[in-house]
A and B are shown apart, each in its own frame.
Chain A
């Protein structure tokens, strides 16, 4: 019998998470619960200076006054913040040489398909591997050091470059920004720090792999990336997480600072555990990502979102400087009972600022996939330009695809375009392919790939491969 759409639906329904496994590494976990002492404990475990402890305490004090906002088009049970352990680190001390790394961890990385061996071989990608909360291994440090590029874990940056961290931490995403940003600011465990000096073009793609491993350990990373005047950096972030029954919370904060003439390309492949096919388990992914552009600078966000039970994420650009550019390219796939509410904010403050938003949503199963975006043109942003396109593809009659754009214009020279479409794969399109000897499965693959091409093209080569793999896993049967 020929492969039909019903077969596809069945396959989609039965598709299980492929990367579900747990590695047994002893971890140091502090008891569950959250209070001021826990914040102090995290800070002292990391030997942090007083100013950072003050930053945490101030954020925590503010968080206590905040109420979780539920405006996003997602639903999930109340989170018990006292039932989460806020710190865990692998017992193994920081390794100096690659050989000394815990073999089990190496195996984990192998299973993920991102082993250091592979990475080393692959065109010089420096990986800052975050296993749970503490950075374990950083490679290619020497080459980067020659150029003056700083790429290290957040805690190292606090120790070695406090002046930079102090100057920029919390300037783009203030601790008071929102409920989860405040929580992150109070209890963040570790993360990545990156500084590109003036005029340096970072010769390799920088990448970090996040992974939640310890059960019931919320991860609160903090990434701070500064591109100084005239520099360029391409930064990759990707993640997979093992199968767990209890919902795990992930609330990261990412801050990008693009100074005059700099360019930051930030790519994400997100594949946290999405829960099983009955919607049980899965990660809650509540992320605050924002970048600020100074004169003539550019920030480009690219994301492929296939995982998490609930995603709540709006990578944004504040186009503060004149002639700055913001871009957002996104593919979001939801299957089974996944829920995603994602999009971007483009805040145009400077003159001649430009922004482009391309968002592609694919929903299957019983999932709900929403695009929520804000384009704001302020009064002094003369000649601002925005183009937005958000398309949704529906692959079952039980799923939902939604679009909530907010467009606010206060300047008469602005040119704003927004368009959105929602449809399913056309029967005529499939018929056309069938007629030319292409099987239904291949035809769906072809159409979905073509549909996402605008975004996948923006990913760096290594990532594009992984992204396609993830699309396959998320929608196996329809893709590839």
Chain B
């Protein structure tokens, strides 16, 4: 009997979500893309919110998110100057509650670069968008992904033409506002053959508690292309984020993602990378700093399907107060993906006895001529190192700060944008004063 009751309860929660989201009007949408939404709405009938029994959500309870009642987030005009990165020369685009706000954005058009809102791109029926939109996000049996597929509002569409190298990074500021609002933003970044691009996306919040952003980005890196995607998650108030990145790499491509999570009542990152051709390089780096009752969950999947690829993964966490950090990294090596080199590492520091770390680094390997390894550690700052620094005249507090900073900064060394690196270093230092 008990089972039956809980099923009813969770499907009621789903209906509550559907009730709010179905007020969105998509009747003017390009029929090609409308069809995607309908398919995913049908898929939603089969899905339910994860419970403690769902292995993929083992360490993260979504109760806080799904028990809340939401209203739709609306576009607003707000001052975004606080969220700009000092000394960074970038194209700035602003998304507020899942809507692109052109007035607040600051960008100039560049030859060979299509940079616009996703809704505009759909109207224009761009070839690249038609080909790749929803290409790898359908039928994943993930309820939050299906919700975004079916009811996403807007986001950024970026296409970089063949062999075009963009020097100036793109900075997307993705803002949520208001109490109990729900927003579902969606981006698609397409780097065509031989192109190069750097992207920064800040996930922040202005006024408001318990708002929920369910975000999806699709990233396609074509042959010989290089993409760097930097993600900063810094919502100071009690808000919820579920962020899914679906990455697809073609031959000889290079993809780097850096994720820095500074705050979040509940943050869940689903990073799925399909490496579907040879000679690719993939770098996944992450830093998560938890405090108070934060819950930060990073799930990554690197799926090596073809031979001769390298992947490198480092995630580091420092957890204070009653915060929880979750790391679940999975490396697949498919039967034909010989000569794969995959490395995966997760290091954690617990600062209090009320903090928790759950680490689950996984390898699933079906090819023999590979070098795959992973490591996971959990510990505390080395007492002897602190003593050494103290003996050199550095205060205990100063020594601790030095050690934590060194530990944290290490994870994000691969950021190639200097201004961003300085900005993040500064944020780490501010945190551990």
**Bound pair: A and B?**
yes
Q: Are A417 and B377 in contact (CB under 8 A)?
A: yes
Query: How long is the Cα–Cα vector from A413 to B354 in the complex, in angstroms?
Result: 11
Q: Are B358 and A411 in contact (CB under 8 A)?
A: no
Choice from B55, B335, B348 contacting A409 with Cβ under 8 Å = B348
Query: How long is the Cα–Cα vector from A414 to B357 in the complex, in angstroms?
Result: 11
Asked if B242 CB lies within 8 Å of chain A CBs, one says no
Q: Are A401 and B373 in contact (CB under 8 A)?
A: no
Asked if B366 CB lies within 8 Å of chain A CBs, one says yes
Number of interface residues of B (CB under 8 A): 36
Using A394-B368, A398-B335, A409-B350 as known contacts, say yes or no to A419 and B373 having CB atoms under 8 A apart: yes
Q: Are B368 and A419 in contact (CB under 8 A)?
A: no
Q: Are B335 and A407 in contact (CB under 8 A)?
A: no
Question: Beta-carbon contacts of A393-436 to B below 8 Å, as 1s and 0s?
Answer: 01111111111111111111111111111111000000000000
CB-CB under 8 A from B377, the residues of chain A are: 415-418
Using A416-B378, A421-B372, A422-B373 as known contacts, say yes or no to A407 and B366 having CB atoms under 8 A apart: no
Kindly provide the distance from the CB of B127 to the nearest chain A CB, expressed in whole angstroms. Answer: 39
Name which residue of chain B comes closest to A427, CB basis.
B369
Q: Are B355 and A412 in contact (CB under 8 A)?
A: yes
Choice from B351, B353, B359, B365 contacting A379 with Cβ under 8 Å = B353
Restricting to B366-384, which residues have a CB under 8 Å from any CB of A?
Answer: 366-380
CB-CB under 8 A from B361, the residues of chain A are: 403, 405, 418, 420
CB-CB under 8 A from B374, the residues of chain A are: 403, 418-420
Kindly provide the distance from the CB of B71 to the nearest chain A CB, expressed in whole angstroms. Answer: 37
Kindly provide the distance from the CB of A367 to the nearest chain B CB, expressed in whole angstroms. Answer: 11
Restricting to B5-35, which residues have a CB under 8 Å from any CB of A?
Answer: none
Query: How long is the Cα–Cα vector from A421 to B370 in the complex, in angstroms?
Result: 10
CB-CB under 8 A from A379, the residues of chain B are: 353-354
Q: Are B376 and A407 in contact (CB under 8 A)?
A: yes
Question: Beta-carbon contacts of A340-384 to B below 8 Å, as 1s and 0s?
Answer: 000000000000000000000000000000000000010100000
Asked if B165 CB lies within 8 Å of chain A CBs, one says no
Kindly provide the distance from the CB of A291 to the nearest chain B CB, expressed in whole angstroms. Answer: 24
Using A407-B358, A407-B378, A412-B380 as known contacts, say yes or no to A422 and B370 having CB atoms under 8 A apart: yes
Q: Are B368 and A402 in contact (CB under 8 A)?
A: no
Name which residue of chain A comes closest to B377, CB basis.
A417
Q: Are A399 and B368 in contact (CB under 8 A)?
A: yes
Asked if B142 CB lies within 8 Å of chain A CBs, one says no
Query: How long is the Cα–Cα vector from A147 to B302 in the complex, in angstroms?
Result: 58
Asked if B360 CB lies within 8 Å of chain A CBs, one says yes
Kindly provide the distance from the CB of B319 to the nearest chain A CB, expressed in whole angstroms. Answer: 9
Report whether over half of chain B's contact residues are helix, strand or loop; otherwise say mixed: strand
Number of interface residues of A (CB under 8 A): 35
Restricting to B211-250, which residues have a CB under 8 Å from any CB of A?
Answer: none
Query: How long is the Cα–Cα vector from A244 to B377 in the complex, in angstroms?
Result: 45
Q: Are A408 and B357 in contact (CB under 8 A)?
A: yes
Choice from B348, B354, B357, B365 contacting A392 with Cβ under 8 Å = B365
Asked if A51 CB lies within 8 Å of chain B CBs, one says no
Q: Are A423 and B371 in contact (CB under 8 A)?
A: yes
CB-CB under 8 A from A76, the residues of chain B are: none
Query: How long is the Cα–Cα vector from A423 to B355 in the complex, in angstroms?
Result: 35
Name which residue of chain B comes closest to A401, CB basis.
B365
Q: Are A394 and B365 in contact (CB under 8 A)?
A: yes
Q: Are A422 and B350 in contact (CB under 8 A)?
A: no
Kindly provide the distance from the CB of A475 to the nearest chain B CB, expressed in whole angstroms. Answer: 14
Name which residue of chain B comes closest to A414, CB basis.
B378
CB-CB under 8 A from B355, the residues of chain A are: 410, 412
CB-CB under 8 A from B379, the residues of chain A are: 414-416
CB-CB under 8 A from B76, the residues of chain A are: none
Query: How long is the Cα–Cα vector from A405 to B375 in the complex, in angstroms?
Result: 10
Choice from A405, A415, A423 contacting B362 with Cβ under 8 Å = A405
Query: How long is the Cα–Cα vector from A17 to B138 in the complex, in angstroms?
Result: 46
Query: How long is the Cα–Cα vector from A71 to B368 in the complex, in angstroms?
Result: 25
Restricting to A204-218, which residues have a CB under 8 Å from any CB of B?
Answer: none
Asked if B106 CB lies within 8 Å of chain A CBs, one says no
Kindly provide the distance from the CB of A358 to the nearest chain B CB, expressed in whole angstroms. Answer: 15
CB-CB under 8 A from A397, the residues of chain B are: 335, 338, 367-369
Query: How long is the Cα–Cα vector from A140 to B156 in the complex, in angstroms?
Result: 79
Query: How long is the Cα–Cα vector from A64 to B352 in the complex, in angstroms?
Result: 44
Kindly provide the distance from the CB of A332 to the nearest chain B CB, expressed in whole angstroms. Answer: 15
Kindly provide the distance from the CB of B36 to the nearest chain A CB, expressed in whole angstroms. Answer: 33
Asked if B256 CB lies within 8 Å of chain A CBs, one says no
Kindly provide the distance from the CB of B379 to the nearest chain A CB, expressed in whole angstroms. Answer: 5
Query: How long is the Cα–Cα vector from A396 to B361 in the complex, in angstroms?
Result: 24
Most B Cβ at <10 Å: residue of A379, A394, A413: A394
Restricting to B67-83, which residues have a CB under 8 Å from any CB of A?
Answer: none
Query: How long is the Cα–Cα vector from A404 to B93 in the complex, in angstroms?
Result: 41
Query: How long is the Cα–Cα vector from A420 to B329 in the complex, in angstroms?
Result: 13
Q: Are A419 and B375 in contact (CB under 8 A)?
A: yes
Choice from A400, A405, A406, A411 contacting B366 with Cβ under 8 Å = A400
CB-CB under 8 A from B89, the residues of chain A are: none
CB-CB under 8 A from B354, the residues of chain A are: 379
Using A419-B373, A420-B374, A422-B373 as known contacts, say yes or no to A412 and B350 having CB atoms under 8 A apart: yes
CB-CB under 8 A from A399, the residues of chain B are: 366, 368
CB-CB under 8 A from A419, the residues of chain B are: 373-376
Q: Are B350 and A411 in contact (CB under 8 A)?
A: yes
Query: How long is the Cα–Cα vector from A392 to B378 in the complex, in angstroms?
Result: 23
Choice from A394, A408, A413, A416 contacting B356 with Cβ under 8 Å = A408
Using A397-B338, A422-B363 as known contacts, say yes or no to A414 and B350 having CB atoms under 8 A apart: yes
CB-CB under 8 A from A417, the residues of chain B are: 375-377
CB-CB under 8 A from A398, the residues of chain B are: 335
Asked if B364 CB lies within 8 Å of chain A CBs, one says yes
Q: Are B353 and A407 in contact (CB under 8 A)?
A: no
Restricting to B185-222, which residues have a CB under 8 Å from any CB of A?
Answer: none
Choice from A403, A409, A415, A420 contacting B357 with Cβ under 8 Å = A409
Q: Are B335 and A422 in contact (CB under 8 A)?
A: no
CB-CB under 8 A from A394, the residues of chain B are: 365, 367-368, 370
Query: How long is the Cα–Cα vector from A418 to B363 in the complex, in angstroms?
Result: 13
The 3 A-B residue pairs with the shortest CB-CB distance, nearest first, are A394-B368, A412-B350, A407-B359
Name 15 interchain pairs, CB-CB below 8 A, sorted by A: A379-B354, A402-B363, A403-B363, A405-B361, A407-B378, A412-B350, A412-B351, A412-B355, A413-B380, A414-B379, A416-B377, A418-B361, A420-B374, A421-B372, A424-B369
8 more CB-based (< 8 A) A-B contacts, given A394-B368, A402-B365, A411-B353 = A395-B368, A398-B335, A409-B359, A412-B350, A414-B379, A415-B380, A418-B359, A418-B376
- Seen from chain B, the residues whose Cβ lies within 8 Å of a Cβ on chain A are 55, 59, 335, 338, 348, 350-380
